[in-house]
């Protein structure tokens, strides 16, 4: 039986962006252009002041898209800014975005990528 190792990532953050349905693709494209590797999108239902003002004051359910992107702490500011601008989040009612610091995460990382990061750390380590 072979031993399996877990590669743990520690210098990472989760960017979560909640927007109106149909806007996620534009935001994800901007995030990828800024260096993000990918995104997870799921749908949610939101309630707020605007939704309560539907016909006859009856609450209107509004579907949202929730975008989750994990990025390195080196990329987080650049990706966050590009997503914010692409989603027009400076316009009232367009959505909200926030960053969550992650303690650790694990996923498959190709050996050549691991080697690159190991050699980069070795070069930066003072001798």
- The whole-number pLDDT of residue 2 equals 60
Structure tokens given for 117: 């990061």
Task: Give me the CATH topology for the region 9-103.
Answer: Alpha-Beta Plaits (3.30.70)
Lowest-confidence region among 11-15, 90-94, 114-118:
114-118
- The whole-number pLDDT of residue 116 equals 76
Q: Is the pLDDT of residue 22 over 70?
A: yes
- Stated pTM of the model: 0.78
Q: Is the pLDDT of residue 60 over 50?
A: no
């Amino acid at each position: 039986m072979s031993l399996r190792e877990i590669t743990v990532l520690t210098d990472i953050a989760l960017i979560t962006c909640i927007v109106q349905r149909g806007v996620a693709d534009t935001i994800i494209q901007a995030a990828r252009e800024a260096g993000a590797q990918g995104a997870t999108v799921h749908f949610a239902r939101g309630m707020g002041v605007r939704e309560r003002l539907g016909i006859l004051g009856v609450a209107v359910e509004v579907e949202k898209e929730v975008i989750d992107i994990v990025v390195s702490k080196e990329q987080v500011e650049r990706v966050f800014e590009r997503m914010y601008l692409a989603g027009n989040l400076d316009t009232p009612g367009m959505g909200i975005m926030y960053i969550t610091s992650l303690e650790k995460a694990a996923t498959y990382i190709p050996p050549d990528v691991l080697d690159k990061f190991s050699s980069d750390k070795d070069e930066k380590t003072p001798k």
